[in-house]
């Protein structure tokens, strides 16, 4: 089965019978459950878009000759890289960049690891072949994926093997002739209940030692695998209409704790088994982190464009566009947008072929962007909140406008410079949902921790940065300064 439609995506979820729990109950059909149905509709739209714009969203499979999703594409030229990025941004525009784990994110990972698979062969050639075959399987069947990277927060002062309950985190229980058995919990699977399968991989930030070998695993299984359970957090889609909650009613992805209750994983679905060294190098040595970050930066450009658009509409609506501090705040967002675009341009146009023949973006540019955006996005949200001021609290619901007694009063009392009250509140509810609602708060939190703890990421960035040329530059300058150093040897 090649690229799928939205209807086919939904039907798979209905048929799968995934073990998803929310609000203390098991979900029988996520496509009709209030916590999931609306975001499932939004995801279905992404898949339908592949067929509405096939020239941009699909390409011919190199193995089957079928039309498959462009976000699985292995780029071999800079033009290919740009073509894939345009498909990524086409999807991102449907949500204003609010779907942080749209399918293209993990499609990029599967592609990179499937092509650059020889790292996995260090343990056994079978693992490399598994990665290669899974990429083809995912591409040819348009598999939607969630993933999980980190262990539960128990006692961060101790390694996993030192915990009082060392088996609480996902770990290897035993190897069998036809596969492995794993048990324990993992965090945090976004879209866990609304995808086909789950990728389990190590953290991109926190490195492991040999004592962590039992926890050093990489594999993939269907979401309806026996013993696999998703325990979803409270939904931020409260079942309200789109006018009242224009973002959370459509793009609330959901996040879940994943519990593997003695889950069996066939050998053909395993990529790493009990090898912390391979896990530590997986994302870097396969260039998966580069291609995943390329998707994220492309998505965040769209997100910044959306935030800027909301800010510009808001300041125009209430006539504050001529105030100096307002223009300065708008400029902050504009500078953020243009800086992100510059990072992306450099990454794409300085791209080079890796040893597997994949055109790989310049990671220096992408790495700077992925370290910077989590630090700046909270400021973008703050700017919108500051400019909206009390207007973000004076936001009656659509039902108030339809009330015969007060509707006309609300419409008149909340009018703006160039908008009737109804249109003004509609805009301000969007700004509120982006900043102050549970959904908006989660968006800010999500961006801040997107690739992990920004402080640890910053430390890693500092350590790997080539600092010597700049130190040498200053040393040479100081050496050129005319000086006469006193002789202190006799003092």
Query: pLDDT (tens digit, 9 = 90+) per residue, 2-20?
Result: 999 999 999 999 999 999 9
pLDDT on residue 193: 84
pLDDT on residue 454: 94
Does the pLDDT at position 349 exceed 80? Answer: yes
Name the nearest CA neighbour of 174 among 84, 103, 73, 263.
263
Does the pLDDT at position 272 exceed 70? Answer: yes
pLDDT category of residue 301 using cuts at 50, 70 and 90: very high
Was 104 annotated as part of a binding site?
yes
pLDDT in tens, 225-250: 999 999 999 999 999 999 999 999 99
Does the pLDDT at position 283 exceed 90? Answer: yes
Was 103 annotated as part of a binding site?
yes
Does the pLDDT at position 208 exceed 80? Answer: no
Q: In 175-287, which ranges are continuous DSSP H helix?
A: 248-251, 276-285
pLDDT on residue 19: 94
Does the pLDDT at position 393 exceed 90? Answer: yes
Does the pLDDT at position 205 exceed 70? Answer: no
Residue 399, SS3?
helix
Bridge partner residues of 255 (DSSP): 190
Q: In 157-287, which ranges are continuous DSSP H helix?
A: 248-251, 276-285
pLDDT on residue 160: 79
Was 204 annotated as part of a binding site?
yes
DSSP 355-388: TTS-EE--HHHHHHHHHHHHHHHHHHHHHHHHHH
DSSP 408-464: HHHHHHT--SSS-HHHHHHHHHHHHHHHTSHHHHHHHHHHHTTTS-HHHHHHHHHHH
Was 134 annotated as part of a binding site?
no
Was 101 annotated as part of a binding site?
yes
User: Whole-prediction pTM value?
Assistant: 0.96
Was 295 annotated as part of a binding site?
no
Does the pLDDT at position 207 exceed 70? Answer: no
Number of H helices, E strands in the chain: 17, 14
**Measured CA distances, 190 to 62, 100, 143, 178, 400 (Å):** 31, 9, 16, 30, 34
Was 483 annotated as part of a binding site?
no
Does the pLDDT at position 353 exceed 70? Answer: yes
pLDDT in tens, 84-127: 999 999 999 999 999 999 999 999 999 999 999 999 999 999 99
pLDDT on residue 79: 98
* Higher-confidence position of 153 and 405: 405
pLDDT on residue 142: 98
Was 449 annotated as part of a binding site?
no
Range picked from 41-50, 148-157, 185-194 for highest mean pLDDT = 41-50
| Angle at CA of residue 150, ends 146 and 152, nearest 5° | 115
pLDDT on residue 284: 94
Was 304 annotated as part of a binding site?
no
Asked if residue 188 has a cis previous peptide bond (ω within 30° of 0), the answer is yes
pLDDT in tens, 161-187: 778 788 899 999 999 999 999 999 999
Was 215 annotated as part of a binding site?
no
pLDDT on residue 163: 81
pLDDT category of residue 260 using cuts at 50, 70 and 90: very high
Mean pLDDT of 266-284: 94
pLDDT in tens, 120-161: 999 999 999 999 999 999 999 999 999 998 888 888 778 877
What share of the chain has pLDDT > 90, as a percent? 91
pLDDT on residue 491: 72
pLDDT on residue 206: 59
Strand 228-232 to strand 20-22: parallel, antiparallel, or no bridges (unpaired)?
parallel
Was 154 annotated as part of a binding site?
yes
Mean pLDDT of 374-380: 97
pLDDT in tens, 427-465: 999 999 999 999 999 999 999 999 999 999 999 999 999
Was 312 annotated as part of a binding site?
no
Give the chain's domains with CATH numbers.
Answer: 6-275 (2.40.110.10), 287-472 (1.20.140.10)
Mean pLDDT of 25-44: 97
pLDDT on residue 162: 78
pLDDT on residue 213: 85
pLDDT on residue 209: 67
Mean pLDDT of 186-194: 92
Was 105 annotated as part of a binding site?
yes
* Mean of pLDDT over the chain: 95
């Amino acid at each position: 089965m090649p690229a799928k439609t939205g209807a086919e995506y939904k039907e798979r979820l209905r048929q799968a019978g995934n073990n998803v729990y929310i609000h203390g109950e098991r979900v029988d059909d996520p496509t009709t459950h209030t916590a999931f149905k609306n975001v499932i509709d939004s995801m279905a739209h992404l898949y339908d878009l592949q067929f509405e714009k096939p020239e941009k969203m699909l390409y011919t499979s190199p193995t089957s000759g079928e039309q498959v999703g462009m976000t699985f594409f292995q780029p071999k030229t800079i033009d290919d890289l740009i073509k894939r990025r345009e498909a990524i941004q086409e999807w991102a525009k449907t949500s204003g960049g609010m779907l942080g784990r749209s399918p293209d994110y993990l499609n990029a990972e599967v592609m990179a690891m499937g092509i650059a698979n020889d790292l996995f062969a260090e343990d056994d050639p079978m693992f490399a072949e598994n990665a290669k075959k899974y990429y083809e399987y995912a591409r040819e069947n348009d598999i939607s994926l969630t993933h999980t990277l980190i262990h539960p927060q128990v006692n961060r002062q101790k390694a996993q093997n030192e915990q009082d309950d060392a088996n609480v985190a996902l770990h290897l229980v035993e190897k069998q002739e036809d596969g492995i058995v794993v048990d324990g919990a993992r965090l945090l699977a976004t879209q866990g209940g609304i995808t086909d399968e789950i990728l389990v991989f190590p953290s991109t930030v926190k490195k492991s030692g040999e004592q962590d070998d039992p926890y050093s695993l990489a594999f993939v299984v269907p979401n309806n695998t026996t013993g696999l359970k998703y325990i979803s957090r409270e939904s931020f889609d409260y079942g309200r209409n789109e006018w009242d909650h224009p973002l959370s009613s459509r793009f609330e992805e959901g996040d879940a704790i994943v519990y593997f209750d003695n889950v069996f994983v066939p050998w053909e679905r395993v990529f790493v088994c009990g090898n912390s060294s391979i896990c530590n190098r997986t994302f870097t040595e396969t260039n998966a982190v580069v291609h995943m970050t390329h998707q994220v930066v492309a998505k965040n450009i769209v997100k910044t464009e959306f935030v800027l658009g909301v800010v510009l509409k808001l300041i125009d609506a209430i006539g504050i566009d001529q105030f100096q501090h307002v223009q300065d705040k708008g400029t902050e967002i504009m500078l953020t947008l243009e800086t992100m675009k510059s990072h992306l341009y450099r990454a794409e146009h300085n791209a080079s072929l890796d040893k597997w023949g994949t055109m790989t973006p310049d990671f220096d540019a992408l790495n700077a962007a992925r370290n910077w955006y989590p630090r700046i996005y909270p400021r973008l949200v703050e700017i919108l909140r500051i400019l909206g001021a009390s207007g973000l609290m004076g936001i009656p619901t659509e039902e108030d406008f339809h009330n015969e007694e007060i509707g006309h009063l609300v419409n008149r009392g909340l009018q703006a410079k160039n908008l009737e009250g109804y249109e003004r509140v509609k805009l301000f509810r969007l700004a509120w949902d982006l900043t102050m609602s549970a959904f908006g708060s989660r968006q800010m939190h999500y961006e801040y921790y997107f690739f992990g703890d920004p402080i640890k990421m910053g430390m890693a960035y500092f350590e790997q940065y080539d600092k010597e040329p700049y130190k040498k530059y200053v040393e040479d300058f100081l050496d050129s300064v005319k000086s006469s150093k006193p002789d202190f040897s006799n003092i």
